[in-house]
Every structure is written in structure tokens, then in C-alpha cells.
Amino acid sequence: MATILPPAVLGMLGGGQLGRFFVAAAHEMGYLVWVLDPDPNSPAGRLADRHLVAAYDDYAALDQIAAECAAVSTEFENVPAEALEYLAKFVPVRPSSKAVAVCQNRIAEKTFMHEHAIPHGPFAVIRGDDDVAAADHGLFPAVLKVARFGYDGKGQARVANHDEALHAFHEFGGEPCVLEKLLTLDCELSVVLARDAEGRIRAFAPGENRHRRGILDVTIVPARGGRQLRLEAEKAAERIAQALDYVGTLGVEFFVSEGELFANEMAPRPHNSGHHTIDACVTSQYEQQVRALTGLPLGEPRMHSHAVMVNLLGELWFDGGDHHRSQREPDWSVVHREPGARLHLYGKHHARQGRKMGHFTVIGEDADAVLEAALRARAALGIADDDH
């Protein structure tokens, strides 16, 4: 594919915050962007040069994208792979519908990892009651996860035995699931990388992630702990990208259990844990997405600062997290008074519990000081330390 240069029009399927950052990066590089998203208030749509308010399988809207855009990407793994496949008949689509289809289905994802010798935890595929009954006793305690449309802890249930697994399976409406052994966690890591059409890969430093109520809370970069473990995570993520023939920005989450690395999930898009790259790296994950999409050389992923990213969820907009009270704006002065802090708000139309409304990143030369400042600002905002 020939290099696509500004002021070409790029297409983005999905209008969330990841798409918003893509639009901003593309604009900085001189491109125009059309966004397709059914939400008239979508964060990316509000920045885009044109926002097509339509469903992802609206073929009239897809035809408009195909006619006007030089290439198309996505920021949302649950965009129908069929829509990407349709657009690929007319324009370059990166990542491919095939790669997205693997990442958006946990059964396909776990099967892919097994087939390509990517280290992963024990699991069983559950499509019916008989599969639950046949599950190895050694899998328990376990987590039952729906194969499609589960994220940020949704569509998941911890189960201690076969009876609880069967009950949860029925609670999920008999949807296909994976049953994963519950691992004892030392920590969680993630690797964000970019791969171009020629197979060249540029990986960002692995991040160490803390979750709260199933949603990413804090990312510390570079991840603490042994250098060898970080290298193993990078290599495993690169093998995944190569095996998928992936083009674009990819996020891979890992569990570390008793010193061993296990791949958990893949995200065929920029990743929440890669937000820090906007402020702490020579090239952000979003600029890399633009570069891979347009055939430009990938940028330098090197960090120029240590970084800690803190997610800002919707409950912060309500006193004490009580959604029965009126919405109010948090006191952002407690973030801005930290010299290395960078606040990013997504411009979402309304707040609700668990909704990602923004994030802040603290950068600096000293890793301990950066972490201390980030946690100080996080506490000053009123974010509790419960339920990690």
C-alpha cells in the first residue's frame, strides 16, 4: 500500500475516548477524520471533521466511509468484524477484520493463545450444561466469562465449584463462555505495541496495572519488578502481533502468578494502560495507530519520563459516589497543583458509575516521587482504596 499523506481523510469506527485521542493525533499530523458512532454525543465525534451518527452495521454509512476515507481503523473491539470486512473491499482497514474477530471473542482468543504457544492459564470452553459438568475439578476456583461483549469486569462471575459455574452460566443466559482457573496474582502487566504492514514492531515499556472493582485504576510505567519478566511480556506480545499479522496499535494484558507470566486478554486497539504515552513518550500509542494506518514509519516509543496514570470514573462526579445526589464537577485543583500532573477529560455527556470520564498522568525523573504524587492527587480527589 502506498503511503497516505495529509490532508487525506481517515475513518474511525467508534467514538469513545480512544477514538478521541486518535482524532487529536491525526489532526496534529495534518489529517482529517470521519467518525462513525451511533452516539450523537460521542467524545471522538465531537472532535471529528465529520461524525456519522449511525450503527456500525449501517451499510449506507459504511458506503460513505468507503467513498471518502483513504483508510479505516477502529478504537472499539466490539465493532462488528463484518463491518470491517465489508470496508476492506474498498479501502485499507487496519487492524484486519480477522484479527479483530479473534480479539473480540474469548473462546477464539484463548484458542489462539493455545495454538500459538502463548503462555496462558488453564481454561475450558463452555457452550452448554454438559461442558460445565465435564470441567476439570482442578479449574476451581474459577472465573466464568462470557465469550462476547464482556469488559471492565462485566459478564464475569467468580465460581467456587461446578454448581456455582452452572448457576452463573444460566444467569448469563446460556451464552458461550470460557471458564478460567482463578490464579493467585503477584501483579498484572500490560504491553502496548505498534506493528506496521512490513512486520516491524515498536513496543512501549510494559506497565504495572492495579484494578478497582474490575476496572483499571492505576498504571505504573515502567512496571516494577524484574527486567526479565518485562522482556518476557514484550516478547509474548510481539509473538501475538506476528501470529495475528496485526497492523496497528495492540494492547496485551498479562497476569503474573508465582513469578510466571500468563497472557490474559488482547485488545485490537490502543489500550487504557497506554494513556501515559501521550505525556511520557516520544511517540504516543495514538500517533503510532495513525502511522501504522497510513503507512508512515513507526515512531520512537522511548519514554522520556517515569509515569503513573490514574483513571477517573463517573462516581467522582457525585458526592460520596451517591448517584441519587446532584452531579458536580470534581475539584481539579488538587491534580493541577502537582507539578508533573497532566489532566485529560474526555468530554462525555454525563457521568455514571464505572464510566471512564478522564484520567491524569504524573510524569517525572524519579519513579518513587512520581508514584507518591499520583497517589496523593488520587486520594485528594476522594478515590477510595477498596476492592482492588
Q: Is the pLDDT of residue 320 over 70?
A: no
pLDDT of residue 76: 87
127, 207: one domain: no
Instruction: Tell me if 4 is assigned to some domain.
Output: no
pLDDT tens digits along 170-213:
999 999 999 999 999 999 999 999 999 999 999 999 999 999 98
Instruction: Tell me if 100 is assigned to some domain.
Output: no
Q: What is the pTM of this model?
A: 0.94
pLDDT of residue 25: 98
Domain of residue 55: give its range.
Answer: 9-93
Do the beta carbons of residue 216 and residue 209 sit within 8 Å?
yes
79, 38: one domain: yes
pLDDT tens digits along 94-136:
999 999 999 999 999 999 999 999 999 999 999 999 999 999 9
172, 205: one domain: no
249, 376: one domain: yes
CATH of the domain at 307: 3.30.470.20
Instruction: Tell me if 129 is assigned to some domain.
Output: yes
Extract the C-alpha cell encoding 123: 481454561
CATH of the domain at 65: 3.40.50.20
